[in-house]
Structure 1
Amino acid sequence: MQILWMASQVRVFSVWAPNARRVSVVGQFNYWDGRRHPMRLRKESGIWELFIPGAHNGQLYKYEMIDANGNLRLKSDPYAFEAQMRPETASLICGLPEKVVQTEERKKANQFDAPISIYEVHLGSWRRHTDNNFWLSYRELADQLVPYAKWMGFTHLETTAH
């Protein structure tokens, strides 16, 4: 019972950095001090991990790493569910999305035989605001891009970096 209670109060951080000498989690919960939350390396996998009690949704964080050459680097979480808007680069602690329950019809669908059509898109240049030419936020992109891709008959989206 206590473990379940603690699990709801604890955030789990993990990052793959097999060549790092040290990795810490820094953020608003520890005043961005890399000495406060050093991570433990699982040598067999190259994954660094740490449980941090008291870190909560809405707080910013990054990984502080000392690389193989001894250089100190601050890195955002490549698998974060939320992040600051550019030009800022910190990741944001957030709750995991609700698990979607599949309908019986969806469970019966044969996903391996169904045809697919992939729309490859660069999110930064797909569409901008017409009034000020600013980039759309990710939420605005989702609200516009997903219906557009469905309307065009695409079944999948692939985002590109460049």
Structure 2
Amino acid sequence: MTRTALYRFHDADGGLLYVGITNDPDHRRGQHARDAADTWYPLAVTREVVWFDTRAEAETAEREALANERPRFNVAHTSHMTDDAWSAHESRKAKRAVKSVQIDPRDPGKTADAIQAALTDQRLLALSLALQKRAERVKLPPVSFKDRSH
């Protein structure tokens, strides 16, 4: 039986930023400090930790918190994604795309082109998905794009 913590990060106004579970809250805070340094983590001023006897109990509590409390930046395990969460999620994906580019010091032009392509792909995907989500929110019918080149 592994004790597991449910944690919540709040902003200065008490707004819920993020909810998660872990068996090591201090280590997980360090991960968030690194991974969300340019999104929500700098907004966090308080952290609340509640311990559960089992991971299953913590998972149940996390699902309830995500459904009922609607944290601003959670992405996984949530049926609603706020614009802030979506933006942070896309930012992390773009960083991963850039990190995946092979750097070739012998050919800086090729490296620059690869980075630009990775960023462009991520931006287009993010824009497409963001527009799709907004259309779903306002219940627009699916749109068909026709070739208008002629």
TM over 0.5: no
In proportion to residue count, which structure has more strand? 1
TM-score relative to the length of structure 2? 0.29
TM-score relative to the length of structure 1? 0.27
In proportion to residue count, which structure has more helix? 2
The one of the two structures with greater contact order (alpha-carbon pairs below 8 A, sep at least 6) is 2
